[in-house]
Each structure stands twice: as structure tokens, then as C-alpha cells.
RNA sequence: GGAGAGGUGGCCGAGUGGUCUAAGGCGCAGCACUGGAAAUGCUGUGUACCGCAAGGUACCGUGGGUUCAAAUCCCACCCUCUCCGCCA
């Protein structure tokens, strides 16, 4: 959520920012109009309330002296009706104002490349050199099916398409990678591990920015609970409506499954486990002092890169352009893994600085040096997303005989297994 | 799911319709006293919104309602604790 004062005082700047990211201006227009109207109305109704408070106090005093106050009470009843009526107007106006405000995306940071779509994203660095194959590398579906480590047909039978099912070494590999990443972030990068609920309430979804706009992209359960699309939601909401009582920065990390309806995405990358409705992910979340958030974003990205470097995978880091960053982000780096079977790049991490956008929605504050309360800056990044990581490991590690050599770093987590062999 | 108790400022806790402008305590900050400290004393100490300001308005779990006036009365809901039931 943008600061209403920023909109009030620098409307043109806000307008330019929204244009740069191709956002609709209709919500901004509505907010500007309602804000003016609201302030006028609030001033009016508060004057009336002051009148009522003063007179009511008098009534109390007069009554204690035994005087008759019937006439005053009658006129106050009318005043009360007027106040109630205006209060209702204010309430309706504020509800609409808030709802529209929640639909305005964050403003892009000045350092972003300008552009309308992904083609304007900029590669800021690359790591590793893609392996040269002596044979034609296969896609992960073919590799994995031969190894018997997943069974998409049965996943589709028990749930539906897009719900992958891992078996045997595939299942173990997922588990090993989760363990490996959590250990890395907790022991070397300074994060505290959390295992949060996998479903959250509506207030949490609003807090991180999924609602109200992205309701169609998520699974909504009974009791008004939502399946989380990312651990970002429960972990960031850990401090919702709180004043953080420990020194900043606070780093948290969590493994969770992620559930995404991917509404409208059918037909694109639907084969295998590249785009699915359920996947596992280790997420990193930071709560930081505003002045440090861009430096913190850089280290966040390197924390994610560290995972990939240790696994010996080739990747590139992209700075997303103004037209391609997500709703709540002010700046975002994507990390993409090289997948030889796809002959292309796979997004496995998205690291974003939300500045105070989420903190303002979720009301997450800290006490500044001068004693004043202020909103923190929040950041999060995948560290990293599974399934696609598995794709890269399978496709990069495949051998001519159909086996897959695993990255050295994961071997201890696999109980010493270095290679997944096809069943005899 | 059932029964009972409860939810008040950073914390503890009083307050059952009218100077509540929420007592008192703890904590914190400043000052005094002191060689320095402890102890003691004094002073200050919530948030948001409206307003150029003076000032005003709102907030006692949340949302409604009654009333001239609600922390206080009524209704619904949420959460916590205790016990019972069910249960991996």
C-alpha cells in the first residue's frame, strides 16, 4: 500500500511511477477524489462530535444538581442522528478509499530498467559455463520417468493435472534439497528457521499483497482460509500488527509447499514440473531498517546464488524492468537456471524489496533511534524453488546411460548416494 | 464440539453509565540529592486521523446496537486459559 500522504503531496510522481509499470490509473484517480472528500467530511463530523461531547458533559453536571435537561437531550438526539448519518458516509468512503488503495501497486525504484515487458529485463551477471554434452540431452520428464522418480499420471488421478507426485529417489532428492538449503541459510547466512502454517486467513493475504487483486490465482478453502502461494505470506505476517521488539535486521527462512492455481496459464510450460499447482520452496524473508533495504536486497540475492553455486549449477541474474516486477515489489531480481533439456532458462528465485509497501498493509513497525515508530522495509527471496531446481539437476546431471549424477554438495543429504540409477 | 473463566497503555492491574482527561504500580527517560552509586523525591512517558495553528476526534479483543452520554449495558464473532469430549 502506498502512503496516502505521498499520493496527496506528490501525485504526479506516483502517476509517473504507475505509468512506468503499465498499471491502470483508475484506482489512483478514485483515491485522490475520495481522499479530498473524506477530509472534508471528517472535519465536519468531528466538529459535531465535539459539540455533543461538550453538551453531554453539561447534562451530566446539570443532572447531578437536579436540574431538568429534557429539552437539551431532545436536541442532542437529533444531533446524534446527524452524526450517525455522517459517520456512515465517512465509513463507506473510507472503505472504498482503502479498497482502491490496496489495488494500487508499488512504485518501481529509480534503478530499474525501463520497459513494458520481460524483453526489457537486464542480465546483471551470469555464473558457470553450461556443460557440453557428448549426446543430445533429454528433458527432465523423459529423464525422470526412466528413473521412476515421479509419476504425473497418478498425481493427476488422485488430484488433478499439475500436482506432481515424486517417488523413491525423487522424493528423497526433494527432501535432501530442502534440508540442504535450510541448513545453509540458518548456519551460514544468519537466518532463523520457521515452520509456519500452510494455510492463512484473509488478513494475512492482504498484508503481503496477494489480496484483494489476486484472489483468482489462489486456492480458497472453507473457514475462509487460503492455501499459501508462497512462504512469504505466513512468514512476513509473523509481525503483522506488531512493533518488532528486537534489533533489525531480522532474517527468517522457511520451507513450505506452495499452492498456485496459475489461472490463465494453461498451455504454457505445462509439461512436467516446470509450471505446477503445488511445489516446494525454501523462502528467505527480511525485516530491515528502511535506509538499508537496497543493500539488504543485494545480500539476499547472493544468499540465493550461494545455493546454486554450491550445487554447481549455471545461472544468470536478471534485474526486472518496470513493466515486469510484481504487484508489491519496488525492485526485483530473478535468478534463472540453465536447463539443457529445455535449451532455456528456468526461474528458480525471485528476490524483491517491497520497501514499506507490505509493512504499511500489514502494519509492521519498528522503533527508530529517535524513539518514533516507523514502518520497516520487507524483502523476500526464494532460496530457492524446488521442482524447477530438480529439473536443472536432472537435466544437467544426466548421463548417456540414463542415470543422473548428483551435485557433490547434496550427497551427504542423500545418505551418500552420488548417482540415481534407472531400475534394472 | 461442550462447560467455565478471561481479553484494559511497553508490562502488571483498578475501574460495572456522567470531571475516565483510564487510578495505582512496574519499567523507561530527564532532573534533584551524592565523591560516585543505591535508596528517595520531583517531572515526563501510547497510537492513529483531521487541522496552518490553537485545538479537536477516535481507540479499553473485533464488529454491531441501546443512550443526550459506553471501558462500563445488550447482541454476534475472534482469541487465550482451565476442565470434558474427540483425535495423529
Residue A207 has pLDDT above 60, yes or no: yes
Identify the residue whose Cα has the smallest distance to the C1' of B49.
A42
pLDDT in tens, A11-21: 999 999 999 99
For strand B, is any atom closer than 7 Å to the CB of A246? no
Sheet of A220-221, strands arranged across: A199-201, A225-227, A220-221
pLDDT in tens, A172-190: 999 999 999 999 999 999 9
pLDDT of residue A173: 96
Give the Cα separation of A367 and A143 in Å (integer): 53
| Burial of A247 from C-beta contacts in 10 A (0-12 / 13-18 / 19+) | exposed
Q: Cβ of A49: how many Cβ atoms within 10 Å?
A: 15
pLDDT of residue A272: 80
For strand B, is any atom closer than 7 Å to the CB of A90? no
Residue A30 CA and nucleotide B16 C1' are separated, in Å, by 46
Nearest C-alpha neighbor of A34 from the set A101, A85, A84, A88: A101
- Antiparallel, parallel or unpaired: β A278-288 and A250-259: antiparallel
Nucleotide in closest CA–C1' contact with A373: B47
Average pLDDT over residues A310-325: 96
Q: What does the DSSP assignment read for A305-331? A: HHHHHHTT--EEEEEPPTTTS-TT-SE
Kindly provide the ipTM of the predicted complex, given to two decimals. Answer: 0.83
Residue A422 has pLDDT above 90, yes or no: yes
Give the Cα separation of A76 and A59 in Å (integer): 10
pLDDT in tens, A259-313: 999 766 655 556 788 889 999 999 999 999 999 999 999 999 999 999 999 999 9
Sign of the dihedral defined by the CA atoms of residues A296, A297, A300, A306, in that order: negative
- Chain A residues 177 to 216 whose Cβ lies within 7 Å of strand B are none
Give the Cα separation of A277 and A419 in Å (integer): 28
For strand B, is any atom closer than 7 Å to the CB of A71? no
For strand B, is any atom closer than 7 Å to the CB of A222? no
Buried b (16+ CB within 10 A) or exposed e, A60-85: eeeeeeeeeeeeeeeebeeeeeebee
Residue A371 CA and nucleotide B36 C1' are separated, in Å, by 30
Residue A126 has pLDDT above 90, yes or no: yes
Identify the residue whose Cα has the smallest distance to the C1' of B18.
A60
pLDDT of residue A295: 97
For strand B, is any atom closer than 7 Å to the CB of A244? no
pLDDT in tens, A54-79: 888 888 888 877 788 888 888 888 89
> Are A313 and A397 spatial neighbours (Cβ–Cβ below 8 Å)?
no
For strand B, is any atom closer than 7 Å to the CB of A57? yes
Nearest C-alpha neighbor of A231 from the set A252, A250, A246, A213: A252
Nucleotide in closest CA–C1' contact with A44: B50
Nucleotide in closest CA–C1' contact with A245: B10
For strand B, is any atom closer than 7 Å to the CB of A39? yes
Residue A289 CA and nucleotide B36 C1' are separated, in Å, by 38
For strand B, is any atom closer than 7 Å to the CB of A43? yes
Nucleotide in closest CA–C1' contact with A73: B68
Give the Cα separation of A139 and A346 in Å (integer): 13
For strand B, is any atom closer than 7 Å to the CB of A60? yes
Nucleotide in closest CA–C1' contact with A62: B18
Predicted TM-score (pTM) of the model is 0.92
The radius of gyration of chain A from alpha carbons, rounded to an integer in Å, stands at: 27
Provide the positions of strand B that have an atom within 7 A of a protein CB: 18-19, 47-51, 55-58, 64, 67-69
Residue A298 CA and nucleotide B46 C1' are separated, in Å, by 36
For strand B, is any atom closer than 7 Å to the CB of A367? no
Amino acid at each position: 500500500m502506498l502512503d496516502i500522504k505521498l499520493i496527496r503531496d506528490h501525485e504526479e510522481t506516483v502517476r509517473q511511477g504507475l505509468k512506468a509499470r503499465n498499471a491502470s490509473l483508475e484506482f489512483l484517480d478514485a483515491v485522490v477524489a475520495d481522499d479530498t472528500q473524506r477530509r472534508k467530511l471528517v472535519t465536519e463530523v468531528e466538529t459535531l462530535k465535539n459539540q455533543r461531547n461538550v453538551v453531554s458533559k453539561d447534562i451530566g453536571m446539570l443532572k447531578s444538581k437536579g436540574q431538568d435537561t429534557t429539552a437539551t437531550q431532545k436536541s442532542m438526539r437529533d444531533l446524534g442522528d446527524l452524526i450517525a448519518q455522517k459517520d456512515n458516509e465517512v465509513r463507506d468512503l473510507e472503505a472504498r478509499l482503502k479498497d482502491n488503495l490496496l489495488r494500487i501497486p508499488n512504485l518501481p525504484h529509480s534503478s530499474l530498467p525501463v520497459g513494458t515487458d520481460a524483453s526489457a529485463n537486464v542480465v546483471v551477471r551470469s555464473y558457470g559455463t553450461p556443460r557440453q554434452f557428448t549426446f543430445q540431452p533429454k528433458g527432465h520428464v523423459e529423464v525422470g520417468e526412466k528413473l521412476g522418480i515421479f509419476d504425473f499420471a497418478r498425481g493427476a488421478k488422485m488430484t488433478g493435472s499439475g500436482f506432481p507426485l515424486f517417488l523413491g529417489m525423487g522424493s528423497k532428492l526433494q527432501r535432501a534439497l530442502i534440508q540442504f538449503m535450510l541448513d545453509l541459510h540458518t548456519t551460514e547466512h544468519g537466518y532463523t528457521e520457521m515452520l509456519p502454517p500452510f494455510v492463512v486467513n484473509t488478513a494475512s493475504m492482504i498484508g503481503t499483497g496477494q489480496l484483494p487483486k489476486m484472489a483468482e490465482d489462489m486456492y480458497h478453502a472453507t473457514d475462509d482460509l487460503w492455501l499459501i502461494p508462497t512462504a512469504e505470506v505466513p512468514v512476513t505476517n509473523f509481525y503483522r500488527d506488531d512493533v518488532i521488539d528486537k534489533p533489525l535486521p531480522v532474517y527468517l527462512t522457511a520451507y513450505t509447499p506452495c499452492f498456485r492455481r496459475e489461472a490463465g496459464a494453461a498451455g504454457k510450460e505445462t509439461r512436467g514440473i516446470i509450471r505446477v499447482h503445488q511445489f516446494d520452496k525454501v523462502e528467505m524473508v527480511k525485516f530491515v531498517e528502511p535506509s538499508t533495504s537496497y543493500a539488504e536486497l543485494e545480500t539476499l540475492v547472493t544468499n540465493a546464488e550461494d545455493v546454486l553455486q554450491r550445487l554447481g549449477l549455471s545461472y544468470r541474474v536478471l534485474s526486472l524492468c518496470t513493466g515486469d516486477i510484481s504487484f508489491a515489489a519496488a525492485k526485483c531480481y530473478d535468478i534463472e537456471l540453465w536447463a539443457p533439456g529445455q535449451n532455456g532458462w528456468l526461474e528458480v528465485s525471485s528476490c524483491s524489496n517491497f520497501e514499506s509497501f507490505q509493512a504499511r498493509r500489514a502494519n509492521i513497525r519498528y522503533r527508530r533511534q529517535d524513539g518514533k515508530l516507523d514502518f520497516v522495509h520487507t524483502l523476500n527471496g526464494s532460496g530457492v524453488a524446488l521442482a524447477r531446481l530438480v529439473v536443472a539437476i536432472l537435466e544437467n546431471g544426466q548421463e548417456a546411460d540414463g542415470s543422473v549424477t548428483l551435485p557433490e554438495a547434496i550427497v551427504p543429504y542423500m545418505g551418500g548416494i552420488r548417482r540415481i540409477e534407472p531400475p534394472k
